[in-house]
Structure 1
Amino acid sequence: MAPPRNRRPGFSRRAQYGLFLTYVGAISGALIGAVLLLLSAFNPPAFAALRRTVAEVTTPVSSGMAWAAAGVSGVPSAVGSYFTVHGENARLRKQLAAEQQLVSRAQTLIRENGKLRGLLKLRDVGSEIVVTARLVNSSATSTRRYATLNAGSWQGVQHGQPVREPAGLVGQVVEAGPNTARVLLIVDAESIVPVRRTRDGVPAIAAGRGDGMIEIRSAGAAAMIFRPGDAFVTSGTGGIFPPDVPVAHVIKPGRDIAVAEPEANPSTLDFAVVQPSFLPPPPPPAPAPTAGASTTPAASPAAP
């Protein structure tokens, strides 16, 4: 059968429909444009109302498309900013670690400087110093409060000598070995130190409580009122502790008895000074002569 003569080889029906719709769209657009042109020329208010309506409909669509376009265009810059911020964060972390090392080193130097200043103060405590020794340990949590010095009788340390540091009194030597000594701290319950108040010289007794604090008791018959901040120093009474060594300051008000905080904290000390007793002990009594001993000189032998 011969093909029809009106058939166009290579031209599909879909292409024909597409061409037809293109013509229809072009003609429709031309008609709409002509209508709008006539409307704008002969009825401007109606054309303005139509224009506003179209603007209200198309504005959200235009805004959404503009937002999407801005987001897509900002992707490269966002990626670049991410890598830039990541690198800057790594650099800042490295710088922070280096600065923390510097701060730690500075704190170590400050502590060492404080220790050296403390040693200089220990040198200036007084001319009468038996020895400057290290506090190797202290019982900070026991009911009895003792400390150990790395100096003993070979260095001149004796029983009863006071021990102090630049801030104040630490305690008293109770045992002395060849190279070590045991110190009874002033916060121990068995420790009693005669003191006086600095602002008026009123005498009192500083007794340890065993809990790291000191109890200040009135030493006179009259009532004694304590106020926070009252400072107490050794009075020299008893002949053991030299006068005017800081001991404690009151932290709670009281009448006749008050709680005070010691000026020296043995748990934070490195070095301490051992001093001789304020009044040297009396010399031992001379031995009494034995009964029945002859006091007359022996007779000289007779001459031949």
Structure 2
Amino acid sequence: MASFTRRSIGFSRKEQYSKFTAWVVAILGAAIGVTLLVLSWTREDRFESARGAAGDVVRPVAVAGAGGRSTSQNLFGEIEAYFQAGSKNRRLEKDLATARVRLAELQAVETENRRLKELLNLYEDDREPIVSARLIGSTSSSTRRFATMSAGSSQGVERGMPVRSERGLIGRVLETGRNTARVLLVTDRQSTVPVRRAEDGLTAFAEGESDGTVRIKLIDLTINPLKPGDIFVTSGSGGYYSPNIPVAVVIELLSDGAMAQVLSNPAATEFVTVDPVFDPEASAELE
């Protein structure tokens, strides 16, 4: 046990000497540093060469560090520019897609306006209508398509007279009562209306399909020049209908013509006008 105690004391003295030496060196180093600092402030010319030599020694490291910083800055700048360019490209693509949609909408509006102008210019008959009346009923579940209006023989309505709304042709009077009349709609299977394409006068027949549509049957079957959106109007042939009353617009092409949607839907029509027969003599021959 005594031997262990002596060894512990010896180790403690050695540790104390080491700590004392470290403190002495630290104090001397601090004193020398302070002395050199004071001298560098008061006698700058004495340390000019030393500072220059030290600068020369550390120059390669400083240049390398500066180059690294510059390279890293350029690299980070390029990376940032890359991601910013990608973000700008996505924004430009989105703006372009929006512009295309707006352009399509404007083109659709322009087309619709042009079509409406064509429709407004179609009515050229200066003759006064016989009477204006209200549609008070129409068939929708039957295979036949009729409507009833609130005007008859007492108001001057006669069999065969065309019936139309502000949008186009509804049909023609089939039977008359004193204050009501039965109208054969253009969509009935027994209805055939001579028509022409509004833009160039291409002739055809509009035959009712009893489902709200009409079948456009071309007279010349060698080629089908129709396209969706074509507007057909009455041609004036047959004697019943005056020319240029809107009838239907093409919605689907067929081998011998097209399917078309009537422009004046009786179900959405409240008031109609009754026109005089366009050519009584020609219509009488068809009876």
- Structure 1: 4+ residue segments shifted above 3 A: 124-127
Other-structure match for 2:150: 150
CA distance in 1, matches of 2:221, 2:237: 17
SS in 2 for 1:251: strand
Written as runs of structure 1 = structure 2, the 5 A alignment for 1:169-184 is: 169-184=169-184
Return the offset for 1:254: 2.6
Partners of 1:148 and 1:257 in 2: CA distance: 31
Secondary structure (helix, strand or coil) at the match of 2:154 reads helix
Q: Is the contact made by 1:226 and 1:256 (CA closer than 8 Å) also made in structure 2?
A: no
How far 1:221 moved relative to its partner?
A: 4.8
1:81-230 matches, cutoff 5 A: 126-230=126-230
Aligned residue number for residue 236 of structure 1:
236
Q: Identity percentage over the alignment?
A: 47
In structure 1, what is the Cα distance between the partners aligned to 2:129 and 2:236?
17
Following superposition, the deviation at residue 243 of structure 1 comes to: 0.2
Name the aligned partner's letter for residue 174 of structure 2.
V
Q: Spell out, residue by residue over 1:175-208, the C-alpha distance to the aligned partner (whole angstroms, 9 max, x if none).
A: 0111110000000111000000112211000000
Cα root mean square deviation, aligned: 2.2
Letter in 1 for 2:235: S
Partner amino acid, structure 2, of 1:194: P
Structure 2 length-normalised TM? 0.53
CA distance in 1, matches of 2:281, 2:159: 11
Q: Which residue of 1 aligns with 2:111?
A: none
Amino acid at match of 2:270: D
Instruction: Describe the superposition over 1:222-280 as per-residue Cα deviations: whole angstroms up to 9, x where unpaired.
Output: 33332100110000001110100000000012332211000000001110000001112
Larger helix percent: 2
One-letter code aligned to 1:198: A
Number of aligned residues: 162
One-letter identity of the residue aligned with 1:277: V
AA partner of residue 201 (structure 2): G
Q: Aligned partner of 2:230: which letter?
A: D
For structure 2, list consecutive stretches of 5 or more residues without a partner in the other structure: 1-123
- Taking the aligned partners of 2:217 and 2:156, their CA distance within structure 1 comes to 33
What is residue 288 of structure 1 aligned with on the other side?
A: none
**1:168–1:234 distance in 2 versus 1, CA, 3 Å:** same
